[in-house]
């Protein structure tokens, strides 16, 4: 096997210049050792005006802290809990983009990267390494950045799919910090009912996409008696892993990547990371491929299952924000909505609890001022709460309102009905389901 020269993290980041835009590998696989080295340079007054780009990251995020104002500036494509407060206080920022197009920001030159800082697995005998749990838009970053630095970490699983050659990098750094793991709360009775309402729309042999968290885990639990499911999803966690171990997921009916589990990034327990290590049944691919609506649509019975922060009475779906407050990001929701509805037998679902933890209705007369529309009403199909499910496709504005009110929390329906009457006028009372 070829011998490689390794350097310290401090030496690897020494060539980063003030004003550079920097890509970080994301989620569970953030190269914290390189970030810490940049913090030391910042404290020494050696750099300023560095812009950071990435999907949601786990762990400390000093590049968003007010302490480094004018030195670091966070411009993430998806906002996680570690930077949410700073983004909403203006010390950091959110760059809206569909995740499938995040790689295009780099490849098109819309963002000119000064550096790509990523974590990779130990190389194989040919010097090829895996980006492990975080392929996302890192392939594009490595292709286009002026400076390319890889942290070679034995804890990064070697996942098949899109690999990188260690020869591509200007600097290699050794580190053995474990990847961040995440345990998600067990589903509540409400989440289990929502999962059941979703699962009843999923036929045997379908191909599924869903995110991570208690609600997707609840849905996974309700799919345990299904047969021959496939997986093509931007991310997955322990809920999907349980289905795989039960033999529910076989991918036998997929038309592309048959028998393979396809994803672009992961967050979950160590069991998930160990599962993808040297597993030929898993392909971790460039987000350009995974989130391409045309690719998604090739598999029949594609089930896209996403969530929302609010849905208004006409079917406008907000998912990245709560009013002006950025909560997460556009993500790949619309990528998969578009792909699923073009799939033969495909279904797009938006599932959420009817009320917030504060008891406020998530089905609302109007989205809060400043809220972002992630899925336009023309793309809204099945909307699902614990009180049922309705299909908005082919329905008029007033019909949509009537349907959505029927699955709102019972204590909110009178308020919503009154709001609909005020909006639509006298004819509202003649609308029937």
Gap between the Cα atoms of 23 and 124, Å rounded:
25
- The CB density around residue 224, as the number of other CB atoms within 10 Å, is 11
Gap between the Cα atoms of 336 and 329, Å rounded:
15
Gap between the Cα atoms of 254 and 297, Å rounded:
11
Q: What 3-state class would DSSP assign to 235?
A: strand
- The CB density around residue 419, as the number of other CB atoms within 10 Å, is 17
142 dihedral zone (left: phi>0; alpha: psi -120 to 50; beta) = alpha
Q: At what angle do helices 397-406 and 413-424 cross, to 10 degrees?
A: 170
81: Cβ contacts below 8 Å, ≥ 6 apart: none
Q: If you compute the radius of gyration of the chain from its CA atoms, what whole number of angstroms results?
A: 22
- Torsional sign, CA 34, 39, 40, 45: positive
Of 74, 101, 191, 234, the active-site residue reads 234
Instruction: Tell me if 222 sits within 8 A of 202, measured CB to CB.
Output: no
Give the CA count within 13 Å in the CB-facing half-sphere of 389: 21
DSSP state of 122: -
- Specify whether 234 is catalytic: yes
Among candidate residues 349, 317, 335, 342, the one with its CA nearest the CA of residue 264: 335
Among candidate residues 210, 206, 207, 232, the one with its CA nearest the CA of residue 219: 210
- Enumerate the active-site residues: 234
């Amino acid at each position: 096997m070829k011998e490689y020269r390794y350097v310290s993290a401090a030496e690897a980041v020494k060539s980063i210049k003030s004003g550079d835009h920097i890509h970080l590998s994301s989620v569970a696989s953030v190269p914290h050792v390189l970030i810490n080295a940049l913090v030391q340079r910042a404290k020494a007054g050696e750099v300023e005006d560095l812009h950071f780009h990435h999907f949601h990251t786990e762990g400390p995020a000093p590049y968003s802290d007010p302490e480094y104002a004018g030195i670091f500036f966070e411009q993430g494509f998806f906002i996680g809990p570690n930077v949410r407060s700073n983004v909403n206080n203006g010390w950091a920022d959110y760059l809206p983009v569909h995740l499938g197009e995040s790689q295009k920001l780099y490849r098109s030159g819309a963002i000119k990267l000064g550096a790509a800082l990523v974590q990779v697995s130990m190389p194989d005998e040919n010097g090829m390494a895996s980006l492990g749990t975080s392929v996302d838009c890192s392939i594009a970053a490595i292709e286009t950045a002026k400076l390319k630095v890889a942290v070679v970490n034995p804890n990064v699983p070697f996942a098949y799919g899109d690999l990188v050659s260690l020869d591509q990098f200007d600097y290699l750094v050794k580190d053995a910090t474990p990847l961040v793991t995440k345990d998600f709360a067990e589903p509540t009775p409400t989440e289990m009912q929502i999962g059941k309402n979703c699962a009843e729309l999923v036929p045997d042999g379908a191909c599924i996409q869903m995110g991570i968290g208690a609600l997707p885990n609840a849905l996974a639990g309700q799919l345990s008696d299904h047969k021959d499911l496939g997986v093509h999803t931007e991310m997955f966690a322990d809920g999907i892993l349980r289905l795989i171990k039960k033999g529910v997921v076989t991918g036998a009916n997929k038309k592309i990547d048959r028998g393979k589990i396809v994803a672009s990034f992961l967050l979950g327990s160590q069991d998930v990371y160990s599962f993808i290590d040297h597993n030929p049944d898993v392909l971790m691919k460039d987000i350009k491929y995974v989130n391409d609506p045309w690719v998604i649509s090739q598999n029949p019975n594609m089930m896209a299952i996403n969530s929302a922060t609010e849905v208004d009475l006409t079917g406008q779906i907000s998912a990245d924000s709560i009013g002006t407050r950025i909560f997460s990001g556009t993500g790949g929701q619309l990528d998969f909505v578009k792909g699923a509805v073009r799939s033969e037998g495909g279904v797009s679902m938006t599932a959420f609890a009817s009320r917030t933890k504060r008891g406020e209705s998530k089905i609302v007369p109007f989205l809060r001022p400043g809220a972002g529309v992630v899925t336009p009403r023309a793309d809204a199909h099945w909307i699902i709460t614990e009180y049922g499910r309705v299909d908005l496709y082919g329905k008029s504005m007033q019909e949509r309102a009537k349907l959505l009110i029927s699955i709102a929390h019972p204590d909110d329906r009178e308020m919503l009905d009154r709001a609909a009457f005020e909006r639509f006028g006298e004819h509202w009372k003649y609308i029937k389901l």
